[in-house]
C-alpha cells in the first residue's frame, strides 16, 4: 500500500531531527575546535572559491566540463604558486593534481585556510598544477545542457549520495579535460571522504582510467561505514526515508542546499532497520530502482570490484574520526591491489574535519602527502 502523508508526524520528526542534530553537532564539534587552524576567520566561510584563492595572491582559472549525461561541472585551477606566477609555457612541466571534496562540500574545501594550512595552496607552492573539482549539484555545478536546477529531472541522480554518477561520469569528464588542457598523460588525485568513494567507483567501473592516475591519495576514505561512531550518522539513518519523503513532498529535490553549513553530516547509514542499510557495503547504484526503496528493502546491488582499482593508493586516516573507523580503513586497504602506504595521523585527536581544518595539519598530514606523491612520480 502506498504511503500517505501525515503532517503532524512529519512535523514532529523534522523538529526532533533538527534540534537533536544541532545538539549532536555542537557536541561533536568540540573535537573540531581543537584542530581548527588559528587563522581561519568566519568571513572566509562566505567567500567563493575564486575569492578565497585571490585573497592570498594566487592566480586562478575557471573551466566548464560537460559530462556524458549533460551536467556542466566547474573546475577551478591554480596553475602556479603564489611567489612567482609564471606564463603558460613555463608551467607546462608542473604535474597536475585533481582534488575532490567530500559530501555536501565544494572546491572551497581546499582553500579555506591560510596558504600554509590549505592543501590547494600547499600543492601549488610545491610545484603542482592544482585543479579543484566540484560534484554535480553543488554550489558551483548547478548547470545542465537541457535542464534547470528547479526541475526534478535535474536531480535524477543518487539523492544526497552522488558517488555513483560522480564516479562513472563526473570524474572521467574532469580527468579528460585536465589532461587535454595540460597535455599530460597522467595526473595525481586527492580525495577526502566521499571524494575517495567516487574515485573507487570510477576505478572499478571504468578501469581504463587507472592508467591515467599517477597516484591517488585517500584522506579518510569512507567506503565502509558500518562501524562509524557518529551519533549524527545513527540519527539520520533512522530518519533517512522520512527526510526523503519530506523533501520531495515540498519539491525540495536538492540535498543540503548550502554545503558549508552541512559538512558534519554523513551520507551513508548502516543501522539495522534503516532503509539505506544495503550501502554498508560498497554496492553499485542502479538508477532503474531509484525511488523504489520501500518496495525493494531486501534488494542487494552487486558490490564494486575493488580489485580493478589498480592505481597506486596512499591512505591516511585519523584516530578520532567519528565518520570513518580505522577498522574499515584497514578493510579497504586489504581489498585494494596497489596500496603503497596506510598512515595514521599522529595526533590522537585528529578527526574527519581535521583533514581540511586541522591545526598543525601541514606538519601532521600535508608534508606526508607531499612525500608520498614524490615517491609515486
d(CA 201, CA 205): 6
Q: 101, 164, 192, 352: which is the annotated catalytic residue?
A: 352
Q: 193, 230, 264, 274: which is the annotated catalytic residue?
A: 193
**Cβ atoms 127, 81 nearer than 8 A:** yes
In degrees rounded to 5, what are phi and psi of residue 167?
-75, -40
d(CA 178, CA 130): 10
Phi-psi region of 13 (alpha: psi -120 to 50; beta: other; left: phi over 0): alpha
d(CA 314, CA 331): 14
d(CA 186, CA 320): 34
**Sign of the C-alpha dihedral, residues 266, 360, 36, 126?**
negative
Letter string b/e over residues 34-59, b meaning 16 or more CB atoms within 10 A of that residue's CB: ebbbeeeeeebeebebeebbeeeebe
193 an active-site residue?
A: yes
List the grid coordinates of 194: 566521499
d(CA 186, CA 38): 36
Nearest in space to 59 (alpha carbons), one of 36, 79, 32: 79
d(CA 318, CA 352): 7
| CA end-to-end span of the chain | 58
352 an active-site residue?
A: yes
Q: Which residue stretches of the chain are H helix?
A: 7-34, 49-54, 88-91, 119-125, 163-165, 171-182, 194-205, 231-249, 326-335, 354-357, 361, 367-376
d(CA 64, CA 145): 12
Q: 108, 129, 170, 321: which is the annotated catalytic residue?
A: 321
321 an active-site residue?
A: yes
d(CA 191, CA 316): 11
Catalytic residue numbers? 193, 321, 352
Amino acid at each position: 500500500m502506498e504511503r500517505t502523508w501525515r503532517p503532524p508526524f512529519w512535523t514532529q520528526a523534522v523538529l526532533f531531527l533538527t534540534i537533536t542534530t544541532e545538539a549532536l553537532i555542537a557536541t561533536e564539534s568540540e573535537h573540531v575546535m581543537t584542530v581548527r587552524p588559528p587563522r581561519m576567520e568566519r568571513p572566509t566561510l562566505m567567500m567563493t572559491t575564486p575569492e578565497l584563492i585571490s585573497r592570498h595572491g594566487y592566480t586562478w582559472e575557471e573551466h566548464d566540463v560537460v559530462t556524458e549525461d549533460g551536467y556542466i561541472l566547474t573546475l577551478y585551477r591554480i596553475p602556479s604558486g603564489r611567489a612567482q606566477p609564471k606564463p603558460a609555457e613555463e608551467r607546462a612541466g608542473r604535474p597536475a593534481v585533481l582534488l575532490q571534496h567530500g559530501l555536501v562540500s565544494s572546491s572551497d574545501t581546499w582553500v579555506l585556510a591560510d596558504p600554509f594550512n590549505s592543501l590547494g595552496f600547499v600543492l601549488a607552492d610545491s610545484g603542482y598544477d592544482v585543479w579543484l573539482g566540484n560534484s554535480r549539484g553543488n554550489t558551483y555545478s548547478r548547470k545542465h545542457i537541457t535542464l534547470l536546477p528547479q526541475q526534478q529531472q535535474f536531480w535524477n541522480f543518487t539523492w544526497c549520495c552522488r558517488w555513483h554518477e560522480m564516479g562513472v561520469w563526473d570524474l572521467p569528464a574532469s580527468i579528460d579535460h585536465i589532461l587535454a588542457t595540460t597535455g599530460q598523460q597522467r595526473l595525481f588525485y586527492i580525495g577526502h571522504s566521499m571524494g575517495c568513494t567516487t574515485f573507487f567507483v570510477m576505478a572499478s567501473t571504468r578501469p581504463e582510467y587507472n592508467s591515467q592516475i599517477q597516484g591517488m591519495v585517500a584522506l579518510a576514505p569512507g567506503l565502509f561505514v558500518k562501524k562509524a561512531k557518529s551519533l549524527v550518522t545513527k540519527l539520520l539513518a533512522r530518519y533517512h526515508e522520512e527526510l526523503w519523503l519530506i523533501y520531495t513532498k515540498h519539491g525540495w529535490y536538492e540535498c543540503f542546499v548550502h554545503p558549508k553549513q552541512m559538512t558534519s553530516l554523513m551520507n551513508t547509514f548502516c543501522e539495522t532497520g534503516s532503509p539505506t542499510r544495503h550501502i554498508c557495503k560498497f554496492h553499485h547504484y542502479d538508477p532503474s530502482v531509484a525511488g523504489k526503496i520501500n518496495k525493494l528493502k531486501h534488494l542487494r546491488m552487486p558490490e564494486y570490484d575493488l580489485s580493478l582499482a589498480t592505481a597506486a593508493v596512499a591512505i591516511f586516516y585519523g584516530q578520532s574520526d567519528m565518520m570513518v573507523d580505522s577498522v574499515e580503513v584497514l578493510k579497504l586497504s586489504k581489498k585494494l591491489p596497489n596500496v603503497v602506504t596506510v598512515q595514521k595521523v599522529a595526533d590522537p585527536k585528529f578527526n574527519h574535519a581535521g583533514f581540511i581544518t586541522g591545526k598543525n595539519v601541514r606538519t601532521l598530514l600535508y608534508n606526508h602527502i607531499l612525500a608520498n606523491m614524490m615517491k609515486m612520480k
